[in-house]
Chains A and B, each alone.
Chain A
Amino acid sequence: MREYELVIIGGGPAGLAAAAAAHEAGLRDILILERDNELGGILNQCIHNGFGLHTFKEELTGPEYAGRFIQQVKELGIPYKLNTMVLDLAADKTVTAMNREDGLFQLHPKAVILAMGCRERPRGALSIPGCRPAGIYTAGTAQRLVNMEGYMPGRKVVILGSGDIGLIMARRMTLEGAKVQVVAELMPYSGGLKRNIVQCLDDYGIPLKLSHTVVDIEGKKRVEAITIAQVDERNRPIPGTEERYECDTLLLSCGLIPENELSRSAGVELNPITNGPTVNESLETSIPGVFAAGNVLHVHDLVDYVSEEAGAAGRHAAAYVACGCKTEEHKALPIKCENGVRYTVPVAIRPDAAGDTVTLRFRVGNVYQNKKVAVYAGDACIFSRKRPVLAPGEMETVILKTDLLTGHPEADGITVTLEEA
């Protein structure tokens, strides 16, 4: 097996954008490893529109959006291997993978970009009591069956969780002839985008019940009924609030988990909040030369931001290889999250290693109104922006000018916080 300077694990939106950007930055020796039978990742099953408004200033479907990047990768002549599963990533960046044609093989790249995406939280991890019959699917599994294979997983549906895939599938199942009876959400707010609640639930008269969860699943062979109940402030079901729905299907959209099994096997440090790697401003993980981008790093709301982030990872990986794979020692400013800011990506900035700007992405832990997002270098406020509404379902972005950081040499840390507007 010939060696490559950069191996990108994952050929979804993150991997594709990273590959194209690394190539544009001058790196020519790149290989994408994709476990599915085509490039594009989960976008291939997202046949609804609404993708690409930021990137292409037009509304594309998921496959169309992926298609733009796939075409770019093909035009650039970047090689990729499909149906190829990476089995192990070692701390020295040895990649062990396999497929039908090459069998079991190893690669020893100079740099690696982690772009494995995320997976859905299944019923088991939610510990929902009741029977375990057929008819319980994660929203994404149902989406694959309906959108890629044309099969109906059920006719009368209850959805638990108001993540974006669940909302999209509420509409899809309705359009395909199923009756979606209710969407129950454990939290007092939705985890999905506002526009999806309007366009996928409200427009079809599907009720969204906040602070509700599934307390029982009936059906020995196939789902026969689902009981939901309201929960108290500690998320415990309130007796007497049960509502039973006869149905044959329960779809789950209860959160996405970055797929970091390979990162873990390599010894990449993970952030317990995001379940993704901790990265610096260059999207470089705790292992020099190993970068991460997209949903493997933290779950995004819009694919446009995945592409943007992955592009940056691609450029940084190219720069790392171009500089002879040396990581210079620079002062790093750790980022502290306060007042409802749950996490930031990156977790630290090295002003001397950063370009003109650094993009900070984060999510908040609750719904907030009339706040401002403020960033401090030490005690000095270097950024502030009013936000009329902040919600956990929407990712926040702050672009920091690096010279504001270098202008505060006394600062030994950065704080991102919410303040009263």
Chain B
Amino acid sequence: MVDIVIIGAGVSGCAIAREVSRYQADVLVLEREEDVCCGTSKANSAIVHAGYDAANGSLMAKLNVEGSRLMPALSKELDFAYENNGSLVVMVSEDDRPALNKLYENGVANGVEGLRIVERDELVKMEPNISDEAVAALYAPTGAIVCPFGLTFALAENAAHNGVKFQFDTEVTGIEKVDGGWKLATTQGDVEAKVVVNAAGVYADKLHNMVSEDAMTITPRRGDYFLLDHTAQGHVHNTIFQLPGKFGKGVLVAPTVHGNVIVGPTAIDIEDKEGVATTQAGLDEVRAKCGMAVKDVPLRQTITSFAGLRAHEARHEFFISEAAPGFVDCAGIESPGLSSAPAIGVMVSGIVKDILKLEENPGFDPKRRGILDPKGLDDAAHAELIKENPAYGTVVCRCETVTEGEIIDAIRRVPGARSVDGVKRRVRAGMGRCQGGFCSPRVMEILARELGVDQSAITKAGAGSELIVGVNKDAI
């Protein structure tokens, strides 16, 4: 029997894993997908919300503001991309002024620092591409953007470094109370744990309902997005939201930490907990709405469109507590879940620590070094790196200038990349404008070599997503 099983290796599960690794405990993370960061955590707006949105007094508001405050230091400690770019909630009709004021007051009550309302003249100076209809905006200087993959991998790697085990391709199918803990039935056999943490995202209701009479329903709320090329960089500087009001709810337009522009999302409630297919209607809605707060959004420079699911609970609140003795929910983690993740990790690990009366882990190392990106080096250091390790001299992904050295590092990490998408999310090979057209066969080769398997076993994102189905003429 292990001390703690965390179900789900998304950003919440990984944040919890990293925080509990501060204590002496056997921790196992079970993940149904083949890698960390495969569900809600991989497909979202990549925003660190300042915290003015969530209702004052809610857990969501508290953790959002705390998470946002923890993020800058965490990004240095764990070496992931984070940028404090600021955010604007734009009002496009004077009629909506009361709603803007209300949002401001809610933010102040939540403890968000530096909030102020900027009028059109200043707004245009801040954002030259702001809509001609923009009247005023709520400016949150603490608003930020983050690489959601980078954050999640950083947490997972640091947790693993401090002793947490990860087991992938393992879906929990049943839970049974046993003496001193829980027995989990999984697709890879039974696992027993003293404490179970339910961080299963859109599936958190399913697990919760296995142990609690008080039924919970998580609705997958789909969001469709466009991601624009680097050529669109600079179109906006802050994360720009539109104030919900007279003309409905808009979509955000934001820079990403990697110099792209993200536009979206929709909010469409669906039934399928894996329904991440985009739809024509969803994409059209983003197209129609993105111009409400920002003009001339260069959607022609789209390099990809995608959809993600938010784990929406009808009360729009985070549910973090013991659903049964020794079974801790971390459920309803929809937006601002990514922003709140650092605080969620602290809160859940606190609950678990109290249940198990855990002792501090004296060997805990809070530091993690990210995958070296040679683009960040000066020329001399860059040249020295290639001399030391020539793999850094071979460019594999041309669009994002990703070298073989970085890809090898991504595969050799713990937990490391095992698929083309795993490589892509860690080092951005295939993330650029050609979307892997040139580099995916090369990435497959490197994966096969590093993992010691045949290329035909290499997948896009885990079993069933094999990229090659055979050899030429094998069916003739």
Residues of A at under 8 Å CB distance from B? 35, 83, 85, 87, 98-105, 119-120, 122-125, 127, 129-135, 138, 140-141, 144-146, 149-155, 176-178, 215-218, 220-222, 237, 248
Contacting chain A: which of B145-153, B172-180, B274-282? B274-282
Most buried by B among A123, A134, A135, A141: A134
Contact of B469 among A104, A131, A153 (CB under 8 A): A153
Residues on B with beta carbons closer than 8 Å to the beta carbon of A237: 280
Residues on A with beta carbons closer than 8 Å to the beta carbon of B379: 104
Q: Can you list 24 A-B pairs, Cβ within 8 angstroms, ordered by A? A: A85-B401, A87-B401, A98-B395, A122-B304, A123-B435, A125-B304, A127-B305, A129-B282, A134-B461, A134-B466, A134-B467, A140-B437, A141-B436, A141-B438, A149-B441, A150-B472, A152-B469, A152-B471, A153-B469, A155-B475, A177-B472, A178-B475, A220-B274, A220-B464
A-contact 0/1 string along B374-390, CB 8 Å cutoff? 00000100110011001
Contact A152 B472 (CB under 8 A): yes
> A125 with B437: in contact, given A130-B278, A177-B474 (CB under 8 Å)?
no
Residues on A with beta carbons closer than 8 Å to the beta carbon of B383: 103-105
Contact A133 B393 (CB under 8 A): no
Contact B460 A133 (CB under 8 A): yes
Interface size on B, residues (CB 8 A): 55
Q: Is B398 an interface residue (CB 8 A)?
A: yes
Contact B468 A153 (CB under 8 A): yes
- A152 nearest CB neighbor, chain B only: B470
- B226 nearest CB neighbor, chain A only: A127
- A124 nearest CB neighbor, chain B only: B304
Name 14 extra pairs, CB < 8 A, besides A123-B435, A129-B277. A104-B382, A104-B386, A119-B437, A125-B302, A129-B280, A131-B277, A132-B276, A133-B465, A138-B437, A145-B441, A146-B472, A149-B441, A152-B471, A177-B474
A-contact 0/1 string along B272-302, CB 8 Å cutoff? 0010111110110000000000000000001
Contact B398 A35 (CB under 8 A): yes
- A173 nearest CB neighbor, chain B only: B472
Contact of A127 among B302, B435, B438, B474 (CB under 8 A): B302
Residues on B with beta carbons closer than 8 Å to the beta carbon of A135: 467
Residues on A with beta carbons closer than 8 Å to the beta carbon of B306: 132
- A98 nearest CB neighbor, chain B only: B393
Contact A103 B466 (CB under 8 A): no
- B286 shortest CB reach to chain A, Å: 10
Residues on A with beta carbons closer than 8 Å to the beta carbon of B468: 145, 151-153
Residues on B with beta carbons closer than 8 Å to the beta carbon of A144: 441
Contact B456 A151 (CB under 8 A): yes
- B248 shortest CB reach to chain A, Å: 22
Residues on A with beta carbons closer than 8 Å to the beta carbon of B86: none
Across the A-B interface, give the 5 residue pairs with the lowest CB-CB distance, nearest first.
A124-B304, A221-B464, A100-B390, A134-B460, A122-B435
A131 to B472, CA, bound (A): 27
- A40 shortest CB reach to chain B, Å: 15
Residues of B at under 8 Å CB distance from A? 226-227, 274, 276-280, 282-283, 302-306, 379, 382-383, 386-387, 390-391, 393-395, 398, 401, 433-438, 440-441, 455-456, 459-476
- A11 shortest CB reach to chain B, Å: 14
A130 to B279, CA, bound (A): 6
Residues on A with beta carbons closer than 8 Å to the beta carbon of B473: 176-177
Residues on A with beta carbons closer than 8 Å to the beta carbon of B277: 129-132, 216-218
- A323 shortest CB reach to chain B, Å: 33
Main DSSP-derived SS at the A contact region:
mixed
Residues on A with beta carbons closer than 8 Å to the beta carbon of B382: 98, 103-104
Residues on A with beta carbons closer than 8 Å to the beta carbon of B276: 131-132
- B396 nearest CB neighbor, chain A only: A85
- A217 nearest CB neighbor, chain B only: B277
Contact of B394 among A100, A138, A222 (CB under 8 A): A100
> A141 with B437: in contact, given A127-B305, A134-B459, A134-B460 (CB under 8 Å)?
yes
A237 to B463, CA, bound (A): 34
Contact A124 B386 (CB under 8 A): no
Contact A124 B474 (CB under 8 A): no
Most buried by B among A83, A99, A100, A215: A100
- B393 nearest CB neighbor, chain A only: A100
A138 to B456, CA, bound (A): 19
Residues on B with beta carbons closer than 8 Å to the beta carbon of A127: 226, 283, 302, 305
A129 to B476, CA, bound (A): 34
Residues on B with beta carbons closer than 8 Å to the beta carbon of A146: 472
A122 to B306, CA, bound (A): 14
- A223 shortest CB reach to chain B, Å: 10
Contact A100 B466 (CB under 8 A): no
Residues on A with beta carbons closer than 8 Å to the beta carbon of B474: 152, 177
Residues on A with beta carbons closer than 8 Å to the beta carbon of B280: 129, 215, 237
- B405 nearest CB neighbor, chain A only: A100
Contact of B278 among A99, A129, A149 (CB under 8 A): A129
A132 to B476, CA, bound (A): 29
A24 to B205, CA, bound (A): 74
Contact B437 A153 (CB under 8 A): no
Contact A155 B469 (CB under 8 A): yes
Most buried by A among B227, B274, B460: B460
Residues on B with beta carbons closer than 8 Å to the beta carbon of A83: 393-394
Contact B471 A150 (CB under 8 A): yes
- B126 shortest CB reach to chain A, Å: 27
Residues on B with beta carbons closer than 8 Å to the beta carbon of A122: 303-304, 433-437
Residues on B with beta carbons closer than 8 Å to the beta carbon of A102: 393
Contact A134 B472 (CB under 8 A): no
Contact B386 A100 (CB under 8 A): yes
Contact B464 A222 (CB under 8 A): yes
Residues on B with beta carbons closer than 8 Å to the beta carbon of A145: 441, 468
Residues on B with beta carbons closer than 8 Å to the beta carbon of A99: 393-394
A154 to B302, CA, bound (A): 27
A87 to B386, CA, bound (A): 14
Most buried by A among B276, B283, B464: B464
> A141 with B476: in contact, given A104-B383, A151-B471 (CB under 8 Å)?
no
> A154 with B279: in contact, given A122-B303, A124-B302, A141-B441 (CB under 8 Å)?
no
A100 to B474, CA, bound (A): 37
A135 to B473, CA, bound (A): 18
A220 to B275, CA, bound (A): 9
- A261 shortest CB reach to chain B, Å: 8
> A151 with B472: in contact, given A104-B386, A130-B278, A217-B277 (CB under 8 Å)?
yes
- B398 shortest CB reach to chain A, Å: 7
A144 to B445, CA, bound (A): 13
Contact A85 B395 (CB under 8 A): yes
A74 to B433, CA, bound (A): 34
Contact of A119 among B391, B438, B461 (CB under 8 A): B438
> A124 with B476: in contact, given A100-B390, A104-B383, A131-B277 (CB under 8 Å)?
no
- B447 shortest CB reach to chain A, Å: 14
